[in-house]
Structure 1
């Protein structure tokens, strides 16, 4: 009795296997869009590639990126921090005011940092223990912090860094190996946070909390202390961003709290591909989102688009990013109950 011949296998061409390995993610789409936008601006805008504009773009991208890294940590843990910009502005204003009345600047900076950590402790406590939804807790904290800054800490919106602090000004205006120092600070901070999230147990705890809060609690993760830690880390990023900002212009302007910067930060995080449902994304998503939004803002400024129209464009892009995020990362019942965002 003859054995049946084995069925001939269907050959799989390299193109089929390549397509199976390749996945067009939101991160890749944003990176390609940023590259295309850079080419278009370079070809169509006269001053886009000028040295002054490139330096301005780099500094703005660095500050936006630092804030976005802080926001990303909180969003990965299924939260949100709308107080970032207020904390950034008021903490550095506090340090500058103290320095102007006689405190040594390093000590003034330490006091400003202590203020940041105190705010983070209060914010985290309200969210983790009192169980106030993060969006409302941080919105209220932002208003309180700005009120303290404008009504108690400083009489003026703009406060100048004392003279003679060349080492501090170098942080915002200096360069190393031809690269502006703010970019080095941003790169170092991004690397540290990336390693923290991906290589440490605490970082994995944040992902676990964002992925499933109940499971994280059952598995023994200290959920409430970790939530406070998230906001402390976010506040630290805001303080560093504020230091770079103050060093770049030798002052701190508290009016930035009333600007749309916090929405720019949210736009970077969401557009970069960090899901609002938590437990997804990382620093790499922040990098591509920062580059795209930085290019968009810089290009609109060069084209002399009015501030109102810029806000309209950014709001439309943010709404589109929210729709995409809702489709890619649908909210589950637990997220709705927590009300984190």
Structure 2
């Protein structure tokens, strides 16, 4: 006689077979890491380390005025980094955002001077920013030009236009206007208005990317544009739309530059912002090949860059080294992405 040793599935008292209970044995620490993300935790630890080192070297770092300086400094870079993240997730890149910010800074001040209306100046600047984004998108879509080449060209073109209309000099004076002064020096709940502008834009971008069909389609296009096209997504419309949004947000950054400096700046205040935005997006986990990235990681990276730059200034480090640090961080971020992707590295036999 054979005796069966197979365990039967549990049966309830009513005769109905029930499924075995699945017990989650994942530790709370692992669940926390999974929820927050390894990339974000790494950035938080890096920020804490940099803050600790700088704070020990210079106690002025922790003063409220200096923290405000850091906050207002990262606001403009943060705006550009947020929209740069969206562009990168889409599988593209926008190197012209700094030039758009400079052009719209000049035009906002010049329109304000001509009309004596800050609202018209701001709206005019945003309209010009959208037009710049439309130009970028049309060059990429209809000219079939690589986004890097296209926006590298418009980087020079938009900067040239800003210098031509301003004769290479700061334009207008906005330091006495309530709207621009409020943007530059106003506070809400103890935080500068510039920070609140960044928070609003970042939250809107996060919600769109995470909870809407538009956001899911942006990830899909960046992840696999061929499959997205076959799935019925109008890729050209998304490319043009994202670049127009990028131009609008870059214009908001230009308006903030005008507010902070009290005049329209064709180059000063905007030059190099594109590199900082790309660096922050890459450090925050946005894959330069597209299809991956999150606004939260980008904001943490912006804070890290802001703290590092401010700390180097407080410690008297040569400003040239700040550029070296930013370039190094960008290289490190891209190398880490490549290693995580698991792809075969060029030149190394596998």
The alignment's TM-score, normalised by the length of structure 2, stands at 0.86
2:309 counterpart of 1:303:
no
Q: Is the 8 A contact 2:57 2:315 kept in 1?
A: no
Alignment of 1:1-341 (within 5 A): 1-4=2-5, 19=30, 22-23=33-34, 25-102=38-115, 104-151=117-164, 153-162=165-174, 164-256=176-268, 259-329=271-341
Instruction: Tell me which moved more, 277-286 or 35-44.
Output: 35-44
Does the residue aligned with 2:61 lie in a helix, a strand or coil?
coil
Distance 2:269 2:183 in 1: 22
Instruction: Work out the CA distance in 2 between the residues paired with 1:2 and 1:109.
Output: 85
Give the aligned CA root-mean-square deviation in angstroms.
2.4
Distance 1:215 1:3 in 2: 51
Whether the 8 Å CA contact 2:280–2:298 is kept in 1: the answer is: yes
Aligned-residue offset at 1:221: 0.6
Given the two structures, how large is their TM-score scaled by the length of structure 1? 0.88
The answer to whether the 8 A contact 1:86-1:257 is kept is: no
**How far 1:16 sits from its partner (Å)?**
6.4
When structure 1 is superposed on structure 2, of 44-53 and 176-185 the one drifting more is 44-53
Between structure 1 and structure 2, the one with the greater Rg is: 2
1:15 CA drift (Å): 7.2
How many residues are treated as equivalent by the alignment? 326
Deviations 1:196-251 (A, max 9, x none): 11222222221111111011111111110110011111111111122222212322
Taking the aligned partners of 2:85 and 2:277, their CA distance within structure 1 comes to 9
Distance 1:45 1:163, change over 3 A: closer
* In 1: Cα distance, 2:82 partner to 2:332 partner: 21
Instruction: Report how far residue 296 of structure 1 moved.
Output: 0.8
Q: Is the 8 A contact 1:277 1:331 kept in 2?
A: no
Asked if the contact 2:99/2:271 (under 8 Å) is kept, the reply is no
